Amino acid sequence: MKMNKKALSILLAGATVASVVVASTASASAVYEDFETEGATYGVIGDFNTWEGDVALTDEDGDGLYTATVSVPVPEEGASSTYKVRANGGWDYSWGAANADGVTANSQDNCSFTEEQYGKDVTVYFDTRTGKGGIDTWYVGTEEPAAPAPIPSEPSESSEEPSVPEVPAGKYAEAYKKAAEQLGEENLPKYYFFDNSESKWTKVGAYWWTPEENATWPGQEAIQIEGTDVWAVEYNAETTKIIFNNLVPDKDAEGNVAYSPENPKAQTTDVKVDATANAGNIYIPNIESAEAKEDGAAITYKEGNWVVFDASGEASVVPEPSEEPSKPAPAESKQPATPSNDGKDGKNGVETGDSATPIALAAVFAAAALTAVVLTKKKVSSK
């Protein structure tokens, strides 16, 4: 089949544009994919030191948030004072002001100090903790960034059933009675409860990141039910996961590490919650599942269970909420079954991606050929 020059040129032009778009997208999404973080050093440089040498950024607690304090001079009238962060004392890898896509790597724009910061000692933050864009979106600025949301725990590959706590019958009967007196029995379904009898935390708090109002670690303090080891946290219907913890922060007011083996930071892992299933019930952490890090300064309880919290005190285990609500089985369809896609990327047996274009063109040419045959037959039959 022949194609005239005009049609061919249009097809080639379209292919060229498509390849340019793909190439530009790929380059924007991985600016520093070859950057080696191990052994790298970081420093801040700018107008404050006439862009000569670096002020070292340090990360004393090893959490990935680097800081440096610099003296910001008052610039000449009409001028500004700017800075950047770079790696290993050179310009092969640097980070500045974020663009519209949040990319700070190899930025063409410097970060700027504000007028309120002129003539003062200012802390510069460089956040290398994992973000949505990885290395290319590492944060640079003078406002301390919030701690990133904890990464959801990976499901266990073990086929064993989760351990069920042994709860003596009637254990929570008295606690339920006191909770009803303190909070009002009609209000108990508005709370999640936590059993602190084994963890023995001085305080109990709860952190969640949906909705965002409580997305600042370590979250809000729970309410202790007087005379018991049970604590209550008022839930929000939007919340899907909670981390119960002992309210020990990562850093104190002076920016120093706040936890230690003498004052450990303790928490559960991500606890799945469902307002319809878990509200009004109590969570029991499995103490035997505790995993300690940093010489006991950070402890995480990997397992636990929700149990019923009511006047009977029977404490039966609450079924874990499903990811999606169950749906009724669909009525028998009279439509033909959808053909298999045979393991390809597309749906209904049609390939997608680069292979879809030649298939589509072939279909167009085939249709045109069929039309020509039909017209030819009509012409012949009319004689």
Classify residue 349: in a domain, yes or no.
no
At 311, the amino acid letter reads: A
Over residues 145-150, mean pLDDT: 74
pLDDT at 347 over 50: no
Classify residue 67: in a domain, yes or no.
yes
Structural domain span for residue 242: 173-307
Dist. CA 282–CA 310, nearest whole Å: 9
At 332, the amino acid letter reads: E
Of residues 12 and 305, which shows the higher confidence score? 305
* Same-domain pairing of 118 and 46: yes
Tell me the CA distances in angstroms from 248 to 104, 218, 281, 310, one per residue in order: 32, 7, 25, 30
Classify residue 50: in a domain, yes or no.
yes
**pLDDT score at 115:** 95
Answer with the one of 307, 342, 358 that is the final residue of a domain: 307
Dist. CA 283–CA 273, nearest whole Å: 10
* Same-domain pairing of 193 and 299: yes
pLDDT at 196 over 60: yes
Burial call 138-168: b when 16+ CB within 10 Å, e when fewer: bbbbbeeeebbbeeeeeeeeeeeeeeebebe
Classify residue 282: in a domain, yes or no.
yes
Contact at 8 Å (CB) between 228 and 175?
yes
Answer with the one of 307, 340, 357 that is the final residue of a domain: 307
Domains held by the chain: number: 2
Dist. CA 320–CA 270, nearest whole Å: 13
Strand ranges of the sheet holding 121-127, from the earlier edge strand across to the other edge: 65-71, 121-127, 139-141
* Same-domain pairing of 74 and 134: yes
- Residue of 301, 292, 320, 316 lying closest to 196 (CA atoms): 301
**pLDDT score at 54:** 96
**pLDDT score at 132:** 65
**pLDDT score at 31:** 84
**pLDDT score at 170:** 74
* Same-domain pairing of 202 and 294: yes
* Residue 134: strand, helix, or coil: helix
Tokens at residue 349, please? 């047996």
Looking at the DSSP bridge assignments, the partners of residue 221 are: 205
| Nearest-10 Cα torsion for 105, 106, 112, 113 | 60
**Tens digit of each residue's pLDDT (9 = 90 or more) over 239-249:** 888 999 999 99
Which residues, including other chains, have CB under 8 Å from residue 93's CB and lie 6 or more apart?
32, 35, 86, 87, 105, 106
Contact at 8 Å (CB) between 89 and 83?
no
Lowest mean pLDDT among 21-35, 185-199, 237-251, 368-382: 368-382
* Same-domain pairing of 133 and 181: no
Q: At 350, is the pLDDT very low, low, confident or very high (cuts 50, 70, 90)? A: very low
**pLDDT score at 313:** 65
* Same-domain pairing of 127 and 246: no
Task: Please give the span between the terminal C-alpha atoms of the chain, in angstroms, as a whole number.
Answer: 28
Phi, psi for 243 (deg, rounded to 5): -120, 115
Answer with the one of 307, 326, 342 that is the final residue of a domain: 307
**pLDDT score at 282:** 94
Classify residue 204: in a domain, yes or no.
yes
When the pLDDT of each residue in the chain is averaged and rounded to a whole number, the result is 77
**Tens digit of each residue's pLDDT (9 = 90 or more) over 253-303:** 888 888 999 999 999 999 998 888 888 999 999 999 999 886 889 999 999
* Same-domain pairing of 201 and 294: yes
pLDDT at 190 over 90: yes
Classify residue 163: in a domain, yes or no.
no
Q: At 211, is the pLDDT very low, low, confident or very high (cuts 50, 70, 90)? A: confident
**Tens digit of each residue's pLDDT (9 = 90 or more) over 18-33:** 333 333 333 334 688 8
**pLDDT score at 149:** 63
Tokens at residue 94, please? 């640097």
* Same-domain pairing of 189 and 276: yes
DSSP labels, 44-56: EEEGGGTT-S-EE
* Same-domain pairing of 180 and 117: no
Q: Indicate which CATH number applies to the domain containing 87.
A: 2.60.40
* Same-domain pairing of 218 and 288: yes
Classify residue 34: in a domain, yes or no.
no
Classify residue 158: in a domain, yes or no.
no
pLDDT at 355 over 50: no
Tell me the CA distances in angstroms from 241 to 153, 178, 194, 244, one per residue in order: 11, 27, 14, 10
Burial call 271-307: b when 16+ CB within 10 Å, e when fewer: bebbbeebbbbbbbbbeeeeeeeeeebbbbbebbbbb
Tokens at residue 215, please? 């997305």
Over residues 66-71, mean pLDDT: 97
**pLDDT score at 238:** 84
pLDDT at 364 over 90: no
Is the backbone of residue 369 left (phi > 0), alpha (psi -120 to 50) or beta? Answer: alpha
Which residues, including other chains, have CB under 8 Å from residue 16's CB and lie 6 or more apart?
none
* Same-domain pairing of 210 and 252: yes
* Same-domain pairing of 82 and 202: no
Q: At 106, is the pLDDT very low, low, confident or very high (cuts 50, 70, 90)? A: very high
